[in-house]
Structure 1
Amino acid sequence: MTESVESGSIEFGLGDVDGTTVAPPPVVAVVGRPNVGKSTLVNRLIGRRAAVVQDTPGVTRDRVSYDAIWNGRQFVVVDTGGWAPDAQGMAAQIAEQAELAIGAADAVVFVVDTNVGILDDDEAVVRVLRRSKKPVLLVANKVDDQRAEAEAAAMWNLGLGEPHPVSALTGRGSGDLLDAILDILPEAPKEAVAEGGPRRVAIVGKPNVGKSSLLNKLAGGNRSVVDNASGTTVDPVDELVEVDGTLYNFIDTAGIRRKVKEAQGHEYYASLRTQGAIERAEVCIAVIDASEPLTEQDVRILTNVEESGRALLIAFNKWDLTDEERRRYLTREVERDLVQFGWAGAVNMSALTGRHVDRLGEAIEDALQGWETRVSTGKLNAFLGRLVAAHPHPVRGGKQSRILFGTQAASAPPTFILFTTGKLDPSYVRFVERRLREEFGFHGSPIHLSIRPREKRKKS
């Protein structure tokens, strides 16, 4: 492997993308202290199970946005981490993310727990909401029956107007709440929306290799919560970031654990979300901790990206923590364990110091170009003819299979169908793939080869 090049969902009002004006949808931020049911309510508002939910405070850490539609109107719902205004450490970063979400939102849904009642933390959040001067809807959650509605009335004391009693778990009152949200949202400007949008880039890797730090460095600010504890990111986080003058939709994902069955609770669902993020992406930046030995997890993640047919860029992070000896060992590990990913681009970098992060833009474009490369049938078959003449398939059982002709069935990723007189040895298929790369490039992209042996004629 060679070192080829050594709003977000929140940042709306993007101006022109590919020459077409994007009409940003209005944004609703859902805030409240921990474990009042914000993520459950978000799932209810968007009509699908997207936000990770578990009966444990602090499952949501970053601000995460989801597209929603109600009565024909589109808007964006931003789920935030539980907000304790006097928090310290990671909890303070979570509170900062919630405050950033309020600042970027057009309206705020403030969720309180009817069963618990009004706490000091709730009143502290109200003071922040008043300073923001944003329209606020007060939601009294966990109102599962008529008796609880009387308790919800006590929320008038917060001074935010009429509380909307709902049960995010059962859906009780959610329709009325959605109507109320539409009433306070500004009308979206009627402008043309560009098709396609920014290229999608997923940042993947095992826990605590620096994925969120990389996203923050690219975005130029604290977009994701960063902490030394592994597994800080749970939901995939989308961020529109400009790199080298090009706008990309970056997806920061939860660290992929060894096996899905080893994950429990919200970690299990987060691993499924990560796989979904890979499927949704066009190119994946696989972050590997260069200061530690390569692991089976690292290889499995790279294999996962390859099997999903996504372009791949490997970022060897924490380069500032490596010395001469570690770099020698890493070179050997790459030659031994990552030889099958020699087609992928690689960048030696440090998300913390910013070393070589500026090289990612060119590497991403290089991978996308390889991913979308298309070879004409004429050129492909001329190449296959020369290849078969110079390197025929070995004889097996007194018979020798031949490649008759081939065609590229698709790009993104490049997919080829080879029509043959019989089955090809796996080693010969790998040889053909290697020579395809030498001839046509496909740098940064997996290649899928499908072999179609000619059917034997049935004797009449």
Structure 2
Amino acid sequence: MSDGLETAGDGVWTDEAEWSDTALAELAGEAAAEAVPLPTVAIVGRPNVGKSTLVNRILGRREAVVEDVPGVTRDRISYEANWAGRRFLVQDTGGWEPDAKGMAQSVAQQAEVAMRTADVIVVVVDARVGATTTDEAVARTLRRSKAPVILVANKVDDERLESEAATLWSLGLGEPLTVSATHGRGTGDLLDVILEKLPETPREGTGGIGGPRRVALVGKPNVGKSSLLNKLTGENRSVVDNVAGTTVDPVDSLVELGGRVWKFVDTAGLRKRVNQANGHEFYASLRTKGAIEAAEVAIVLIDASQPLTEQDLRVLSMVVESGRAVVIAYNKWDLVDEDRRLQLEKEIDRELVQLPWAQRVNISAHTGRAVQKLVPAIETALESWDKRVSTGRLNNWLKEVMAATPPPLRGGKLPRVLFATQAGTRPPTFVLFSTGFLEAGYRRFLERRLREEFGFEGSPVRVNVRVREKRAKK
């Protein structure tokens, strides 16, 4: 596993002066823009009619997981889109079926919630197949909707299918707009119609929420990420099933905990290696990596009732290397007996010896045990992630440490650190300007002493070394 330290001598130093007033103003403007509630467009329909492909076409990038198999999308997932200068959310949903059972029923319920809460509903039908009994059932439900409904006849790749799409008038949802999500045909006209029907303010906005901190729930498959999100939100926000790999797309939820609003992201379970996954699992792994990069803090769930696995360590390593703040949640604690607790402590001492700084919480997503303790752990980790140490204080501390424990000799010479400064936060990154190379073991020693002096619980710390180049003799 990574120790969170960068290799010495090859980093690019970013001076604090580069953070100009203009740059800070731009960041403040971006944060204010993110706080504005956006109207939502829900994309619904029966399985495998091309909803996720249409979502990607609207976004102009590949975000939603797509595979030529029904049932890949299972949760309702929101993405931010922009058309003609207007920002809005596009909500992808799983296939809706009226008489679904088991997991398919949970998927259908997520689609129904999207239909109830969206500002505009886009119902997608496969024009090549025509109106099926499921399409008719969807239409009957949508005819009672208070939100505007747009009927889309998808997979109309050329003019020869235009006449077949006209038969969809029978659904009673108005004129069908013909598009080809795969090739982009007609999607510009569809977006124009969507903008005409979008209200100025959303039906169910998140008014008053200013920049919620972003928390990613990550871990191996079937470790309880979706169950935890459902427990935190108090609703079935994510589809949960005993089958590993139920979640394939990141699922966003705004959750109020500890008197403030957080943005939680449920992610797909990460396999041992991305190249071992195939089809939608491969793209789900890529989405999970993107969700970690977009988050500020990651809650890494570990099944406390089972021995630590290579997958657990790989997930932790990925989060640390990404530079996110870390909280380790040992889930399924209600299944842990005294013998397992002793064994778990030994595994932690052996396998997680390089992560003594990570915040740890023992929880049960199923029963709700101690989930409220996640909030102070998250807040501590984020406070460390944002922490900055003044240059004067840092150099006074470093002078004392190096006087008491100087670095090892290199080439018969003793390297001297001329100056140290904190280059940035998120994560805290320090740069040491030295006359010679500092061994990796000594850099780890400095990181350990740095944590002892200044804290940084729950956040990785990066220590870069810049070696002064020798001046050429005249």
Superposed pair shares fold, TM > 0.5: yes
CA separation of 1:195 and 1:222: change in aligned 2, threshold 3 A: closer
Structure-1 separation of matches of 2:411 and 2:182: 65
Find out whether 1:133 has 2:133 as its counterpart.
Answer: no
Deviations along 1:110-135, one digit per CA (max 9) or x if unpaired, are 11111111111111111211233321
Find out whether 1:26 has 2:39 as its counterpart.
Answer: yes
Residue in 2 aligned with 1:38? Answer: 51
Find out whether 1:426 has 2:440 as its counterpart.
Answer: yes
Is the CA contact (8 Å cut-off) linking 1:377 and 1:407 kept in structure 2?
yes
Amino acid in structure 2 at the alignment position of 1:346: R
Aligned length: 442
Find out whether 1:211 has 2:216 as its counterpart.
Answer: no
TM-score by length of 1: 0.93
Residue in 1 aligned with 2:182? Answer: 169
Amino acid in structure 1 at the alignment position of 2:189: D
Deviations along 1:7-65, one digit per CA (max 9) or x if unpaired, are xxxxxxxxxxx999954221111100000000001111122111111100011000001
* Structure 1 unaligned blocks of 5 or more: 1-17
Q: Please point out which of 334, 345, 349 is paired with 2:359.
A: 345
Q: Please point out which of 296, 309, 316 is paired with 2:323.
A: 309
Structure-1 separation of matches of 2:378 and 2:35: 24
Secondary structure of 1:248's match? strand
Is the CA contact (8 Å cut-off) linking 2:212 and 2:261 kept in structure 1?
yes
- Cα displacement (A) at 1:412: 1.1
How do 1:91-110 residues align onto structure 2 when only pairs under 5 Å count? 91-110=104-123
Residue in 1 aligned with 2:26? Answer: none
Residue in 1 aligned with 2:60? Answer: 47
Residue in 2 aligned with 1:230? Answer: 244
Residue in 1 aligned with 2:8? Answer: none
Amino acid in structure 1 at the alignment position of 2:267: T
- Cα displacement (A) at 1:421: 1.8
TM-score by length of 2: 0.90
Amino acid in structure 1 at the alignment position of 2:244: S
Structure-1 separation of matches of 2:91 and 2:308: 36
Secondary structure of 2:56's match? helix
Residue in 1 aligned with 2:275? Answer: 261
Is the CA contact (8 Å cut-off) linking 1:30 and 1:38 kept in structure 2?
yes
Q: After the TM superposition, which parts of structure 1 deviate over 3 Å for at least 4 consecutive aligned residues?
A: 18-23, 191-196
Structure-2 separation of matches of 1:291 and 1:149: 57
Structure-1 separation of matches of 2:231 and 2:237: 9
- Cα displacement (A) at 1:193: 9.0
Find out whether 1:436 has 2:460 as its counterpart.
Answer: no
Structure-2 separation of matches of 1:334 and 1:209: 17
RMSD value, Cα: 1.9
Residue in 1 aligned with 2:4? Answer: none
Q: Please point out which of 54, 69, 91 is paired with 1:78.
A: 91
Secondary structure of 1:388's match? helix
Deviations along 1:96-150, one digit per CA (max 9) or x if unpaired, are 0000011110111011111111111111111211233321111110001111111
Structure-2 separation of matches of 1:328 and 1:154: 67
Residue in 2 aligned with 1:410? Answer: 424
Amino acid in structure 2 at the alignment position of 1:458: A
Structure-2 separation of matches of 1:234 and 1:117: 29
Amino acid in structure 2 at the alignment position of 1:299: L
CA separation of 1:409 and 1:196: change in aligned 2, threshold 3 A: farther
Secondary structure of 2:341's match? helix
Residue in 2 aligned with 1:458? Answer: 472
Structure-2 separation of matches of 1:194 and 1:129: 30
Q: Please point out which of 281, 291, 313 is paired with 2:295.
A: 281
Residue in 2 aligned with 1:5? Answer: none
Residue in 2 aligned with 1:154? Answer: 167
Deviates more, 1:326-335 or 1:128-137: 128-137
Residue in 2 aligned with 1:8? Answer: none
Residue in 2 aligned with 1:14? Answer: none
Secondary structure of 2:327's match? strand
Find out whether 1:398 has 2:412 as its counterpart.
Answer: yes
Identity of aligned residues (%): 64
Amino acid in structure 1 at the alignment position of 2:196: D
Is the CA contact (8 Å cut-off) linking 1:286 and 1:313 kept in structure 2?
yes
Residue in 1 aligned with 2:379? Answer: 365
Is the CA contact (8 Å cut-off) linking 1:20 and 1:193 kept in structure 2?
no
Q: Please point out which of 210, 214, 220 is paired with 2:234.
A: 220
Structure-1 separation of matches of 2:457 and 2:251: 27
Residue in 2 aligned with 1:376? Answer: 390
Amino acid in structure 2 at the alignment position of 1:119: T
Is the CA contact (8 Å cut-off) linking 2:215 and 2:296 kept in structure 1?
yes
Residue in 2 aligned with 1:63? Answer: 76
- Cα displacement (A) at 1:185: 1.6
